[in-house]
C-alpha cells in the first residue's frame, strides 16, 4: 500500500525559476505548502525581453494572490514602469515599406481593470512573483538538476553541484529543454519549427528615442511591422533614466531545403554571427523609418544579434500520466512550448500554476479517475490528474493556434493590403 503523501511533510521541489516556477512557488508559499525552487543559473541572470500578458491569464493569478489590482501589477512590471507607464500596447500593424498603419484594431483601453492585455518586462515579472508576498519564497540559485528517483511522496533529487534533496512532489518548471522531461520521457524531442527568427537588442538615449521611434510608437510598448511574408516588431523592453532598451526581431518561413538563414543545429557562437544574407535581405526589403534605422546593417553590426531556433513541445496525456506516477507534474514550457508568434506561452505558464495550486488545495475534491481508491496517497495523485483534466485541452489548443498564427502573421504583403482595404470598407 502506498504511503500517505501529505505535502506538508516533505517539501514540493520546483525545478526552474522562470515565470512558471516562481508563480507556483508564490502560490504554494501563500497557502503554507512547503516548497523550494531550484534554478540552474545565478540570481543576477537577466531574462530582460518583454512579453504580452493577457487578462485571461493574469486576472486569475491576481485573484489567487489576494485580489491584487491589474494596475498594481502593471506598474510593477511594465517596460515603461520607471517613467510612469503601465505597459500599454497598440496592436496596429504597419507596412514596413511605408511605415504607414495597415491594420489597426480598436486600441486597448488604457484604463486599468478592463485592459485585455499589456506588456511586461519578463525579468521584472519574475522578480515581482518572487517578492510580491509577505512570506519569502525559497529559491536556490546555481542548482542545476542532474537526476532524481523515487515516487510520489518520496523523491530524492541530485544537483550538479553535489547537493541532494528530498521531497514529496517534483514540479517541472524547467522550460522547453526540461531536464526533468528528458530524464523520464527521453523519447520526446522538441520539434524545430521551420522558421527563421533573428533577434537583437538596441539601446537609445531618450533624445534618440523621442526623435526616431516615438513618432511611430507613441505611448505603446510595441511597434508591429509586417512586410512581404516577413514580420519585424520593435518592442520596448525597459525605459529608465539611462535611456530606452529596445528589441527587434525579423522572422519569416524557411525557404526550401537550403535556406542560408536557417541554422537549427548551430552552436551558440554560430548563432551569434551576422549572416551577410540577412543584411542583404533586409536591405532589399527597403524598410521605412523607424524600421530602417533599427534594422540597418550598421546598427546590427554594432549591436549584434541572435539567431533564435524556435521549438515546440507538447507532451501527450499518457506520458504526463506516467510521469505523474513517478511523482512529477509539469507546468509551463516544459510540457507545452509553443511558437512565439502566438504570444501565449507565458500566459499559459501562469494559468497552469493557478490551476495546479487550486487542484492541490481542493479539499472538496470528490470523484475523479483515481478516487475509487480511498488511500490518501492516491488523493494527491487524483488532484494532479484533475489539474491535467482542466489544463490539457487548453494547452493543446494553444500550441495549435500559435502554429496557425505563424502563417497569418507572415502572409504576402498583397494579402495584408487586401485585408486592410476590406477593413476600411467595413462600417464602424
Ligand atoms: C522572444 C520571445 C517572445 C515571447 N513573447 C511572449 C508573449 O508575448 N506572450 C507570452 O505569453 N509568451 C511569450 N513568450 C514565451 C514565454 O516567454 C515562455 O512561454 C515562458 O517564459 C515560459 O516560462 P517557463 O517558466 O515555463 O520557462 P522558462 O522561462 O524557460 O524558465 C525555465 C527555467 O528553468 C531553468 N532550468 C532549466 N533547466 C534546469 C535544470 N536542469 N535545473 C534547474 N533549473 C533549470 C532555466 O534556467 C529557467 O530559468 C515569448 C518567448 C520569447 C523567446
DSSP assignments along 367-425, one per residue: --TTTTS--HHHHHHHHHHHHHHHHHHHHHHHHHHHHHHHHHHT--HHHHHHHHHHHHH
Q: Is the pLDDT of residue 235 over 90?
A: yes
Q: Is the pLDDT of residue 255 over 80?
A: yes
Lowest mean pLDDT among 344-348, 363-367, 389-393: 363-367
Strands (E), 280-333: 306-308, 311-312, 328-330
- Provide residues with CB under 6 Å of ligand 1: 15-21, 38-41, 49, 51-52, 122, 144-145, 173-175, 179, 332-333, 340, 343-347, 349
Question: Is 102 within 8 Å of 259 (Cβ atoms)?
Answer: no
Lowest mean pLDDT among 220-224, 372-376, 405-409: 372-376
49 C-alpha to ligand 1 centroid (Å): 11
Mean pLDDT over the full length of the chain: 91
Share of the chain above pLDDT 90, in %: 81
Pocket test of ligand 1: the residue of 51, 163, 193 to mutate, having most ligand atoms within 8 Å of its CB, is: 51
Domains identified in the chain and CATH numbers: 12-79+119-190+312-406 (3.50.50.60)
Question: Is 332 within 8 Å of 20 (Cβ atoms)?
Answer: yes
Averaged pLDDT, 123-132: 96
Closest CA to 17 of 113, 119, 145: 145
Q: Which grid cell sits at 207?
A: 533624445
In the structure, what pLDDT confidence band is assigned to residue 3 with cuts at 50, 70 and 90? very low
59 C-alpha to ligand 1 centroid (Å): 20
Please write the tens of the pLDDT for every residue from 186-210: 999 999 999 999 999 999 999 999 9
pTM value > 0.85: yes
| 304 phi and psi angles, rounded to 5 deg | 80, 175
In the structure, what pLDDT confidence band is assigned to residue 4 with cuts at 50, 70 and 90? very low
Q: Is the pLDDT of residue 427 over 50?
A: yes
pLDDT at position 114: 56
- The protein residue with its alpha carbon nearest to ligand 1, atom 35, reads 16
Q: Is the pLDDT of residue 365 over 70?
A: no
Give the Cβ contact number of residue 387 at 10 Å. 22
Please write the tens of the pLDDT for every residue from 60-107: 999 999 999 999 999 999 999 999 999 999 989 999 999 999 988 765
Which residue carries 502593471 as its cell? 74
Q: If 0-12 CB within 10 Å is exposed, 13-18 middle and 19+ buried, where does residue 86 land? A: buried
Amino acid at each position: 500500500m502506498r504511503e500517505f503523501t501529505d505535502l506538508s511533510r516533505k517539501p514540493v521541489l520546483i525545478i526552474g525559476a522562470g515565470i512558471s516556477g516562481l508563480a507556483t512557488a508564490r502560490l504554494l508559499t501563500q497557502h503554507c505548502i512547503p516548497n523550494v525552487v531550484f534554478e540552474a543559473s545565478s540570481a543576477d541572470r537577466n531574462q530582460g525581453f518583454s512579453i504580452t500578458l493577457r487578462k485571461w491569464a493574469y486576472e486569475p493569478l491576481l485573484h489567487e494572490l489576494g485580489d491584487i489590482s491589474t494596475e498594481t501589477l502593471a506598474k510593477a512590471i511594465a517596460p515603461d514602469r520607471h517613467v510612469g507607464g503601465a505597459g500599454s500596447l497598440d496592436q496596429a500593424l504597419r507596412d514596413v515599406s511605408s511605415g504607414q498603419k495597415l491594420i489597426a484594431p480598436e486600441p486597448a483601453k488604457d484604463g486599468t481593470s478592463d485592459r485585455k492585455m499589456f506588456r511586461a518586462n519578463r525579468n521584472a515579472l519574475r522578480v515581482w512573483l518572487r517578492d510580491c508576498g509577505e512570506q519569502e519564497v525559497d529559491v536556490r540559485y546555481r542548482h542545476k538538476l542532474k537526476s532524481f528517483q523515487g515516487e510520489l511522496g518520496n523523491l530524492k533529487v541530485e544537483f550538479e553541484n553535489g547537493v541532494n534533496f528530498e521531497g514529496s512532489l517534483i514540479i517541472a518548471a524547467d522550460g522547453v529543454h526540461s531536464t526533468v522531461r528528458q530524464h523520464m520521457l527521453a523519447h520526446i524531442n522538441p520539434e524545430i519549427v521551420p522558421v527563421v527568427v533573428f533577434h537583437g537588442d538596441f539601446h537609445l538615449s531618450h533624445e534618440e528615442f523621442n526623435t526616431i521611434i516615438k513618432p511611430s510608437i507613441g505611448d505603446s510598448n510595441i511597434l508591429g511591422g509586417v512586410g512581404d511574408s516577413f514580420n519585424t516588431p520593435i518592442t520596448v523592453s525597459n525605459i529608465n533614466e539611462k535611456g530606452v532598451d529596445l528589441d527587434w526581431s525579423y522572422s519569416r518561413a524557411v525557404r526550401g531545403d537550403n535556406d542560408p538563414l536557417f541554422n537549427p543545429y548551430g552552436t551558440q557562437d554560430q548563432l551569434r554571427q551576422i549572416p551577410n544574407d540577412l543584411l542583404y535581405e533586409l536591405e532589399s526589403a527597403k524598410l521605412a523609418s523607424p524600421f530602417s534605422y533599427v534594422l540597418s546593417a550598421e546598427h546590427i553590426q554594432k549591436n549584434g544579434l541572435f539567431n533564435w531556433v524556435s521549438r515546440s513541445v507538447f507532451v501527450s496525456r499518457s506520458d504526463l500520466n506516467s510521469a505523474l506516477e513517478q511523482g512529477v507534474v509539469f507546468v509551463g514550457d516544459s510540457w507545452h512550448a509553443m511558437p512565439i508568434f502566438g504570444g501565449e506561452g507565458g500566459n499559459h505558464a501562469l494559468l497552469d500554476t493557478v490551476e495546479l495550486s487550486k487542484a492541490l488545495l481542493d479539499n472538496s475534491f470528490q470523484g475523479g479517475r483515481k478516487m475509487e481508491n480511498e488511500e490518501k496517497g492516491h488523493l494527491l495523485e487524483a488532484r494532479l490528474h484533475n489539474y491535467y483534466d482542466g489544463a490539457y485541452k487548453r494547452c493543446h489548443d494553444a500550441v495549435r493556434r500559435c502554429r496557425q498564427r505563424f502563417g497569418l502573421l507572415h502572409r504576402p504583403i498583397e494579402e495584408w493590403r487586401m485585408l486592410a482595404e476590406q477593413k476600411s470598407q467595413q462600417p464602424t
